[in-house]
Amino acid sequence: MSFRLIKTEKNTKARLGELTTPHGVVKTPVFIISLLIIMKFMDVPLAADPIVNWGNYEVKVRDGVIDKASAKAELPVIINDLQQICGKYDFSEHQAWIFPLKGYGLTSIATKGSDFQPDIVYGVSPIKGYNFFDGNKHGGHPAHDIFIRDKDQNNLDDQTRQPVAALAMVDSIVLSTFTNWQKGSKLRGGNYIWLYNPKLDVFFYYAHLDKVLVTSGDLVKAGTVIGTVGRSGLLANMKSSPTHIHLMVLKYENGILKPYEYYEELIHE
Ligand SMILES: [Zn+2]
């Protein structure tokens, strides 16, 4: 009995700070630093994090600093890598979607979801209609705008006097966020969040947020509060714009990210 105890203690210690090698016990930090130096010397590329890759990628597409052909070529690689790392998590495939604003329902979206018009002539893209690769200069309205009760435009619900929580609609992983929108910025989305569900192969983009309450790499269950509704974004910040979130869902199909009409997903008996 006492032998087993000592053995356990020894193993625990080894796991926490030391590695056993044929040459004896080596402190883990020393081992890792040595390994990194060897890898650098041998020019072995360090494995990049697929979530970091996505974050860099969406910003490049957003800001138009990557040409469309390259962006299109990179997308399947990025999504394949995301699928790989998500494989270790248990995402549900068949899940009822949750309404994305706490305390609100379908009546806060245009009747029958009529504002979902990916091909409408709207926006600043010379190519009308929505194309993900147009980034911040995209056309169309590939989303639903979900409005809150905020006559005085202070980001608080006029009845509860509280911020309105934005919720994850299905179990997802947080891919990237933007939290630093400033008045005067030309960025249309303002403070935003990208979520991903690998089973559905669907991306969720929540724009015009006030506060962002998650960070890339977080796993969020359906119904988790991820942020609060705000007025960030070039047009959303104008007086003429009632307070809302712009919520776009994109499905990965045939090498592109295609706008997905999710209104029906929000209708429950
Ligand atoms: Zn919108």
> How far does the centroid of ligand 1 lie from the alpha carbon of residue 83, in Å?
28
> How far does the centroid of ligand 1 lie from the alpha carbon of residue 141, in Å?
6
The pLDDT profile of the chain, 269 residues, written as one tens digit per residue, is 333 433 333 333 334 334 444 455 556 666 666 655 555 555 554 557 999 999 999 999 999 999 999 999 999 999 999 999 999 898 887 889 999 999 999 999 999 999 999 998 877 777 789 999 999 999 999 999 999 999 999 999 999 999 999 999 999 999 999 999 999 999 999 999 999 999 999 999 999 999 999 999 999 999 999 999 999 999 999 999 999 999 999 999 999 999 999 999 999 86
> How far does the centroid of ligand 1 lie from the alpha carbon of residue 236, in Å?
8
> How far does the centroid of ligand 1 lie from the alpha carbon of residue 54, in Å?
23
> How far does the centroid of ligand 1 lie from the alpha carbon of residue 143, in Å?
6
> How far does the centroid of ligand 1 lie from the alpha carbon of residue 77, in Å?
29
* Predicted pLDDT of residue 34: 66
Q: Based on the domain organization, do 88 and 151 belong to the same domain?
A: yes
Residue type, 86: C
Indicate the DSSP class of residue 141. B
> Residues 179, 227, 58, CA angle at the centre, nearest 5°?
45
> How far does the centroid of ligand 1 lie from the alpha carbon of residue 247, in Å?
7
Residue 146 near residue 164, CB atoms below 8 Å: no
Domain that holds residue 35: 2-42
Q: Based on the domain organization, do 32 and 8 belong to the same domain?
A: yes
Q: Based on the domain organization, do 34 and 61 belong to the same domain?
A: no
Query: Residue 248 forms beta bridges with which residues?
Result: 143, 205
> How far does the centroid of ligand 1 lie from the alpha carbon of residue 22, in Å?
62
Q: Based on the domain organization, do 171 and 38 belong to the same domain?
A: no
> How far does the centroid of ligand 1 lie from the alpha carbon of residue 150, in Å?
17
202-212/219-220 β-pairing: unpaired
DSSP conformation letters of 145-180: EEE-S-TT-SSB-TTT-SBPEEE-SSSEEEEEEE--
Residue 247 near residue 143, CB atoms below 8 Å: yes
* Predicted pLDDT of residue 121: 84
List Cβ neighbours of 175 (8 Å cut-off, separation of 6 or more). 51, 54, 55, 58, 82, 194, 195, 196, 203, 216
Residue 239 near residue 247, CB atoms below 8 Å: no
Q: Based on the domain organization, do 128 and 187 belong to the same domain?
A: yes
> How far does the centroid of ligand 1 lie from the alpha carbon of residue 80, in Å?
29
Q: Based on the domain organization, do 103 and 215 belong to the same domain?
A: yes
SS3 22: coil
> How far does the centroid of ligand 1 lie from the alpha carbon of residue 36, in Å?
46
Residue 227 near residue 209, CB atoms below 8 Å: yes
Q: Based on the domain organization, do 72 and 184 belong to the same domain?
A: yes
Q: Based on the domain organization, do 149 and 227 belong to the same domain?
A: yes
> How far does the centroid of ligand 1 lie from the alpha carbon of residue 75, in Å?
24
Q: Based on the domain organization, do 175 and 131 belong to the same domain?
A: yes
d(CA 235, CA 185): 10
Q: Based on the domain organization, do 244 and 160 belong to the same domain?
A: yes
Q: Based on the domain organization, do 38 and 153 belong to the same domain?
A: no
* Predicted pLDDT of residue 107: 96
Q: Based on the domain organization, do 68 and 26 belong to the same domain?
A: no
SS3 195: strand
What is the distance, to the nearest Å, from the Cα of residue 105 to the centroid of all Cα atoms in its chain? 22
* pTM more than 0.75: yes
CA dihedral 20, 21, 25, 29 (to 10 degrees): -90
CATH of the domain at 139: 2.70.70.10
* Predicted pLDDT of residue 74: 97
* Predicted pLDDT of residue 33: 63
> How far does the centroid of ligand 1 lie from the alpha carbon of residue 218, in Å?
25
Q: By C-alpha distance, which of 206, 195, 207, 213 is closest to 233? A: 207
**What is the total count of domains within the chain?**
2
